[in-house]
Amino acid sequence: MEHYTDIMTAPQDPPRIADRFRSYLPVVVDVETGGFNAKTDALLEIAAVLLCMDEQGHLQRDETLAHHVEPFPGANMEAEALAFTGIDPYHPFRFAVPECKAMAGIFKAIRQAVKGHGCSRAILVGHNPAMDLAFVNAAAGRCHLKRNPFHPFSAFDTATMGGLAYGQTVLARAVQAAGLPWDSEQAHSAIYDAEKTADLFCTIVNCWDRWRAQEGKES
């Protein structure tokens, strides 16, 4: 009986993010660019938000990795795209770094996080992530970075998740519908948009997990 009691009261292992997402580590990414063509247009900003779980299994933001990026040689930059983001690619106070340095640093930190969480690979989370993933993969190719931590084509799409959860697919509206603050003056910077996308993703996942747990108790 004493042995049985010891087993029943033994502390449980803390929740692992690897168990929640089939060994993948979600990493939220946002890019600001000189256009929509990942092969020809400049990558100007990139932010990647690492996620973690607390002791209750709630998903939350961890570390934000970000760089202003120098246009790669011969990069195209559309005037309309620069006007939309407000980025001056050659402004000295951007403190931009070469594309290869930015990508190598972010990839290294993500690989360390993947290993630290016991995951097998990162999976990109984005708001309409096809563009973000295309620019990440194109930059990795230009820089000959063979150890790209991201799944090459799969991603989590918070536009779809926002539409399902709140009936809103625009990032600003989905964030506000989730009860989170939104500052339109800070929008369209890679860091701000990535962190807000991360908050939205975590909120939806945590709400879903709480609902499933409650359904399990009632069934």
Q: What are the residue numbers of the active site?
A: 188
Measure the CA–CA gap between 133 and 73, rounded to whole angstroms: 21
CA distance 115 to 168: 34
> Are the C-beta atoms of residues 47 and 68 closer than 8 Å to each other?
no
Contact 201, 161 (CB under 8 A): yes
Instruction: Indicate the residue type of 109.
Output: A
Sheet strands (E) in the chain: 24-33, 43-53, 59-68, 121-126, 150-157
CA gap 167, 173 in Å, rounded: 9
Assess contact for 30 and 47: CB atoms under 8 A: yes
- C-alpha dihedral (53, 132, 188, 158), degrees to nearest 10: -50
- Residue 216's alpha-carbon distances to 43, 67, 137, 172, in angstroms, are 45, 43, 40, 33
Note whether 71 and 34 are within 8 A (CB): yes
